[in-house]
C-alpha cells in the first residue's frame, strides 16, 4: 500500500487558528536560536582547532609528528587516527547524552526558558575553561561543560520554536534552529581561519573562547523570554493569563486564539501524565509511531555522515594534501553553501512539505558521497596526492553534499521530532530524540578517524548505503505534517497505511488511558 498522501492533512484541520507572524514571536525565537548558534559553533570549532599545528603540538604531539613526517611512515588515511584526539571531540557529546534526561525533567517541570538559562551558563563556563586550559585534562573538562549546556539547549530550543511558531510557519521557524547551527559553524570556521594566523600559536584559545559570547546572550535573554503557552498550561498556569500571552504571541484576540488554547488544554492530560511521560512513551502502544520516529530520525541524521564532515573537514582536506590555511578556507566556503541551503529550506519547507525535502536531499547526498568515495579510491591511495583539479572537484562535491544535508536532514532532523509528540509526552519524546542524536554523534566522532584509517575511501560508500536506507524509510513511513497545528499532528498516524494499526484499537477492544484515536471520527 502506498504511503499516506499530504492532502489528507487539510481534512484534519477542523478550524484554522487566527494569528500572524508578530515581531514579538520573531524576537523571542531569534533569542532562543542562539542555542543553535552555540551548537553549530561547538561543532565547527573542534574540527578547525584539531587541524591547527600549535594545538596538535601542545596536546596531541603524536599526531603532530605524523603530519610533519616524524616517526613511522603511515597511510594518508591514518595520520589523524588518535583515540585521544577523538575523545576531545566526542567528550562534548558524551556529556550532552548524560545530561539530556535531566534536561527533559527541567524542561517539563520548569519550562523551556529554565533549560535555556542553564544551557547558556554552562556553555559560557565551558568556553572559559577550555580557552584557559594548560593541559589535556582541562581542555576536555571545558568540552564536557559545553556538552552539559548543549544537552539543555538542544532539549529546549526546538520545542520552544515549535510551540511559539504559528502552525502555517512552524516549519520555517523550526528550521531556523538549523540555520543558526549553520551560522554558528560558519562563524567558527571564520574564527578558526583568522586565529590560525595569530603569531605565537595561541589562536586556538581565541577559537575556544568565542563560544562564551552567544552563550552569555542566551543566558541573559532567557531571563526575559516569555514561556510558551503550551508549557504554561502543562505547569498549571491560570488559563486567563495563558490566553493573554497567546493573544500577544499571535497578534490577535479572535476566536482562533480560544480554539488554539482549547487544543492546548485538551492536549494537557494531567500533571500525573506529564511526570511519567517517558514511561508512557516507552510502554503505551498508541505512542509507538512517534517513538520510532524519535529514535530513527536522529539516528539516520547522524548516519548521513554529516558530522564526520563537520568535525573533520579540515582534517580530511589536509589528508588529501592541502595546507593548513587552504583547508580552513575551503571549509569556510563549504559552510557558506550550507547557510544558503538552510535559508532555502526555511522558504520551502512550509510550501513543499517535509517529505519532499527529505527525499530530494537524500538523493543529492547519495550521489555526492558516491562520487567523493570514487575520487579518493581512484586517485589518493595510501601514499599519493590528489591533483589540483581533483582536489577542487572534491571540495565542490563536499559542498554539494553539505547543501543537500542543509536543506533536508539537517533542519528536518530537528523539526519533525519536535512537532510530532502529544503535549503529555513532548518533553520526554524530545529527550529521546536528543539522546539518540548525542549517542550517534559520539559514536561517529569517536570512530570516524579509525574508520577512515581502516576503510579508507570505502567509508563514503558506507554512508551512501545508509542514505539509501533512510530515504526509503521516509518514503514509506513518515506522513506529511505541513501546515497542521502542533496539537493536531497526532491524528495523522491513524490515517497512515502502516501506523494506524498501532493507534486505532481493534474492534471490541477498550481504549487505553488517554484514549486511542478512532480514525472514523477524524
DSSP 5: P
Report how far residue 248's alpha carbon sits from residue 129's, in angstroms, rounded to the nearest whole number: 41
pLDDT per residue over 289-332, tens digit each? 999 999 999 999 989 988 667 655 655 666 555 555 666 666 77
DSSP letters spanning 161-191 = HHHHS-GGGHHHHHHHHHHHHHHHHHHHHHH
For residue 238, the tally of other CB atoms under 10 A from its CB is 10
Least confident of 134-143, 174-183, 346-355, 502-511: 502-511
Q: What is the pLDDT of residue 5?
A: 43
Residues 410-449 as b or e (16 or more Cβ within 10 Å = b): bbbbbbbbbbbbbbbbbbbbbbbbbbbbbbbbbebbbbbb
**CA 361 to each of CA 149, 399, 461, 518: distance values in angstroms, whole numbers, following the listed order:** 30, 13, 17, 34
Angle (nearest 5°) at CA 333 between 327 and 336: 145
**CA 168 to each of CA 171, 290, 350, 353: distance values in angstroms, whole numbers, following the listed order:** 8, 21, 7, 11
Least confident of 118-127, 230-239, 319-328, 464-473: 319-328
Range 21-503: architecture per CATH: Up-down Bundle (1.20)
For the cut 90, the answer to whether the pLDDT of residue 30 exceeds it is no
For residue 206, the tally of other CB atoms under 10 A from its CB is 16
- Look at the chain and count its residues: 522
In 3D space, the residue among 421, 486, 422 whose CA is nearest the CA of residue 162 turns out to be 486
Radius of gyration of the chain (CA): 23
Q: What is the pLDDT of residue 272?
A: 44
Give the distance from CA 422 to its chain's centroid.
20
Please tell me whether residue 211 adopts helix, strand or coil conformation: coil
Report the first-to-last Cα separation within the chain, whole angstroms.
21
**Contact by Cβ (8 Å): 37, 214:** yes
Question: When comparing pLDDT for 404 and 88, which is higher?
Answer: 404
Report how far residue 160's alpha carbon sits from residue 298's, in angstroms, rounded to the nearest whole number: 18
Q: What is the pLDDT of residue 11?
A: 52
**Contact by Cβ (8 Å): 479, 495:** yes
**Contact by Cβ (8 Å): 143, 91:** yes
Q: What is the pLDDT of residue 381?
A: 59
pLDDT per residue over 70-122, tens digit each? 656 666 667 666 778 778 878 888 898 889 878 888 888 888 899 999 999 99
**Contact by Cβ (8 Å): 409, 301:** yes
Q: What is the pLDDT of residue 508?
A: 42
**Contact by Cβ (8 Å): 510, 340:** no
Q: What is the pLDDT of residue 469?
A: 96
Report how far residue 464's alpha carbon sits from residue 303's, in angstroms, rounded to the nearest whole number: 9
Please tell me whether residue 263 adopts helix, strand or coil conformation: helix
Q: What is the mean pLDDT of the chain?
A: 81
Give residue for cell 596526492. Answer: 385
Return the C-alpha cell found at 406: 542543509
Report how far residue 522's alpha carbon sits from residue 391's, in angstroms, rounded to the nearest whole number: 56
What does the domain layout of the chain look like in residue ranges?
21-503
DSSP letters spanning 378-419 = HHTTTT----HHHHHHHHHHHHHHHHHHHTTHHHHHHHHHHH
Model confidence at 1, pLDDT cuts 50, 70, 90, reads very low
Please tell me whether residue 300 adopts helix, strand or coil conformation: helix
For residue 23, the tally of other CB atoms under 10 A from its CB is 8
Least confident of 195-204, 238-247, 262-271, 444-453: 262-271
Give the distance from CA 51 to its chain's centroid.
24
Kindly report the backbone phi and psi dihedral angles of residue 264, in degrees, each rounded to the nearest multiple of 5, phi listed first: -65, -45
In 3D space, the residue among 142, 170, 126, 177 whose CA is nearest the CA of residue 156 turns out to be 177
Q: What is the pLDDT of residue 79?
A: 64
Q: What is the pLDDT of residue 356?
A: 94
Average pLDDT estimate for 506-513: 44
For the cut 60, the answer to whether the pLDDT of residue 212 exceeds it is yes
For the cut 50, the answer to whether the pLDDT of residue 260 exceeds it is yes
Report how far residue 401's alpha carbon sits from residue 364's, in angstroms, rounded to the nearest whole number: 7
DSSP letters spanning 496-511 = STTTHHHHSPPTTPPP
**Contact by Cβ (8 Å): 203, 197:** yes
Amino acid at each position: 500500500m502506498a504511503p499516506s498522501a499530504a492532502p489528507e492533512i487539510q481534512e484534519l484541520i477542523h478550524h484554522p487558528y487566527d494569528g500572524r507572524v508578530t515581531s514579538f514571536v520573531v524576537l523571542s525565537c531569534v533569542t532562543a536560536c542562539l542555542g543553535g548558534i552555540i551548537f553549530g559553533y561547538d561543532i565547527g570549532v573542534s574540527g578547525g582547532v584539531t587541524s591547527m599545528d600549535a594545538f596538535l603540538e601542545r596536546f596531541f604531539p603524536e599526531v603532530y609528528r605524523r603530519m610533519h613526517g616524524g616517526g613511522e611512515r603511515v597511510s594518508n588515511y591514518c595520520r589523524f587516527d588518535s583515540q585521544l584526539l577523538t575523545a576531545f571531540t566526542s567528550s562534548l557529546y558524551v556529556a550532552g547524552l548524560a545530561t539530556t534526561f535531566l534536561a527533559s525533567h527541567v524542561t517539563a517541570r520548569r519550562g523551556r526558558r529554565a533549560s535555556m538559562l542553564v544551557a547558556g551558563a554552562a556553555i559560557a563556563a565551558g568556553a572559559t575553561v577550555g580557552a584557559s586550559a594548560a593541559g589535556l585534562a582541562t581542555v576536555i573538562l571545558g568540552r564536557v561543560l559545553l556538552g552539559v549546556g548543549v544537552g539543555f539547549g538542544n532539549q529546549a530550543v526546538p520545542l520552544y520554536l515549535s510551540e511559539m511558531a504559528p502552525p502555517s510557519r512552524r516549519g520555517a521557524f523550526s528550521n531556523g534552529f538549523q540555520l543558526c547551527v549553520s551560522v554558528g559553524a560558519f562563524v567558527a570556521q571564520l574564527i578558526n581561519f583568522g586565529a590560525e594566523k595569530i603569531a605565537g600559536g595561541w589562536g586556538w584559545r581565541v577559537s575556544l573562547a568565542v563560544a562564551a559570547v552567544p552563550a552569555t546572550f542566551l543566558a541573559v535573554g532567557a531571563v526575559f523570554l516569555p514561556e510558551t503557552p503550551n508549557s504554561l498550561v502543562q505547569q498549571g498556569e491560570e488559563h486567563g493569563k495563558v490566553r493573554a500571552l497567546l493573544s500577544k504571541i499571535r497578534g490577535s484576540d479572535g476566536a482562533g486564539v480560544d480554539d488554539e488554547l482549547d487544543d492546548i488544554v485538551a492536549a494537557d492530560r494531567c500533571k500525573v501524565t506529564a511526570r511519567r511521560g517517558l514511561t508512557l512513551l516507552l510502554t503505551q502502544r498508541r505512542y509507538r509511531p512517534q517513538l520510532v520516529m524519535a529514535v530513527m530520525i536522529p539516528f539516520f541524521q547522524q548516519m548521513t555522515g554529516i558530522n564526520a564532515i563537520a568535525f573533520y573537514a579540515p582534517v580530511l582536506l589536509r589528508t588529501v594534501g592541502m595546507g593548513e590555511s587552504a583547508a580552513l578556507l575551503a571549509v569556510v566556503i563549504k559552510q557558506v553553501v550550507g547557510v544558503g541551503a538552510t535559508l532555502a529550506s526555511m522558504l520551502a519547507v512550509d510550501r513543499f512539505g517535509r517529505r519532499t525535502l527529505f527525499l530530494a536531499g537524500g538523493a543529492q547526498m547519495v550521489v555526492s558521497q558516491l562520487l567523493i568515495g570514487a575520487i579518493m579510491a581512484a586517485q589518493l591511495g595510501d601514499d599519493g596526492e590528489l591533483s589540483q583539479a581533483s582536489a577542487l572537484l572534491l571540495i565542490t562535491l563536499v559542498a554539494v553534499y553539505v547543501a543537500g544535508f542543509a536543506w533536508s536532514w539537517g533542519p528536518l532532523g530537528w523539526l519533525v521530532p519536535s512537532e510530532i509528540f502529544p503535549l503529555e509526552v513532548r518533553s520526554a519524546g524530545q529527550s529521546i530524540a536528543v539522546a539518540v542524536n548525542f549517542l550517534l554523534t559520539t559514536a561517529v566522532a569517536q570512530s570516524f578517524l579509525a574508520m577512515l584509517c581502516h576503510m579508507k575511501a570505502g567509508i563514503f560508500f558506507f554512508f551512501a548505503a545508509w542514505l539509501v536506507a533512510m530515504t526509503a524509510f521516509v518514503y514509506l513511513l513518515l506522513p506529511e505534517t505541513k501546515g497542521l497545528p502542533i496539537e493536531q499532528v497526532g491524528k495523522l498516524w491513524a490515517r497512515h497505511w502502516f501506523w494506524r494499526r498501532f493507534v486505532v484499537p481493534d474492534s471490541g477492544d477498550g481504549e487505553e488511558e488517554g484514549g486511542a484515536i478512532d480514525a472514523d471520527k477524524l
